[in-house]
Amino acid sequence: MSIVNVHNEWDPLEEIIVGTAINARLPKPDISVHAIDFPELEKLEDIPFGAFPSHVINETEEDLQTFIETLQKLGVKVRRPEVVDHAKVFKTTDWETDGLYNYCPRDIILAIGDMIIEAPSPLRSRFLEAFAYKKIFIDYLRSGSRWISTPKPQLLDDCYGTPNGFEICLKNEEPLFDAANILRIGKDILYLISNSGNELGAQWLQSTLGSEYRVHTSYNVYNHKHIDTTFTFLRPGLVIVNPQRVNSQNMPPLIKNWDKIWCPEMIDVGYVGKMALSTTWIGMNFIMVNPNLAIVEKRQIHLIKALEKHKIEVIPLQLRHPRTLGGGFHCATIDVRRKGKLEDYS
């Protein structure tokens, strides 16, 4: 029986991969880093790089360990990637780079149904990141899960336009997307077009998933990166929406008739270093354990009250550096098994 079995963001959680902050670093600046992570900066020379401070790594690992222990007490099986030296330089015939981290498996691993898909990240520094999960994937394969990778991208300079901070600068030269551009709603897949996901990526995903699924592209919602600080699906018919990015004009048709919680003001938890990898909206990057239980960063008191008002119990946990590392509890995980079956919620 396939270990991988996941169809949405809320069914009762049974197995999850939790990332690691060990050896996390910002890669050497290149055209992909400029376009994807720092489009608001004018020059490559302005982009920060190098290892994150040791206290950021240590405190994050402490927080992740508490998170893991909480999940295990709830009966959830937890797996973790191998530790990798991201300072090592690697290259193709066209470019060379060093690595980023394995903190956010959500970005590079897409689990849908009984399938694991390795996503074609537009960041060159993430080209080999999935190697840290290979032993886990082999175990899934042996259980009967399907395991595929998107066409390995070349990531040539032509893939990237001129960063200007506002317009999407990821071109449509080859299929490119982070898995965090995608949310699963049963037979419907919501796919954000942004600097970290292009139209060809959506087309490839639809062709791969086949007629059993419907991939819905969402435009002009959030041009920078991922979708999981814009929408958080709680249960069938109920979604939290980022009021700064979404309105009646750009609301995805797929969820226009859903009940909506307009996300309250986020508590700014700050960041370490020259620039943050995430905005304050990383606070709504939380994970549903089941339709009635969420794990939320404990400082987001307004969000917690909003969830409790809708009869969702909250386990508040500490995650000290989500803006520094660019990921909350949703980003730092990939749920691979939830108790449920494929449904049509449209």
Q: Which residues are catalytic?
A: 178, 226, 331
Distance of CA 308 to the CA centre of its chain: 25
What values do phi and psi take at 335, rounded to 5? -80, 120
Residue 242 is encoded by which pair of tokens? 């980022």
Helix extents (H) in the chain: 31-36, 54-73, 105-108, 134-143, 199-209, 301-309, 322-325
Give the integer Cα–Cα distance in Å for 76 and 240: 24
Torsion of CA 23, 29, 34, 40, to 10 degrees: 90
The total of other beta-carbon atoms located within 10 Å of residue 117's CB is: 21
CA distances from 278 to 150, 169, 204, 285, 306 (A): 26, 18, 28, 11, 22
Beta-carbon contacts of residue 314 (< 8 Å; ≥ 6 apart): 293, 294, 295, 296, 304, 307, 308
Q: Which amino acid appears at position 189 of this protein?
A: I
Per DSSP (E only), the strands in 52-207 are 77-79, 90-91, 96-97, 109-112, 115-118, 146-149, 182-185, 188-192
Give the integer Cα–Cα distance in Å for 30 and 20: 24
The residue among 173, 230, 163 whose CA lies nearest residue 195 is 163
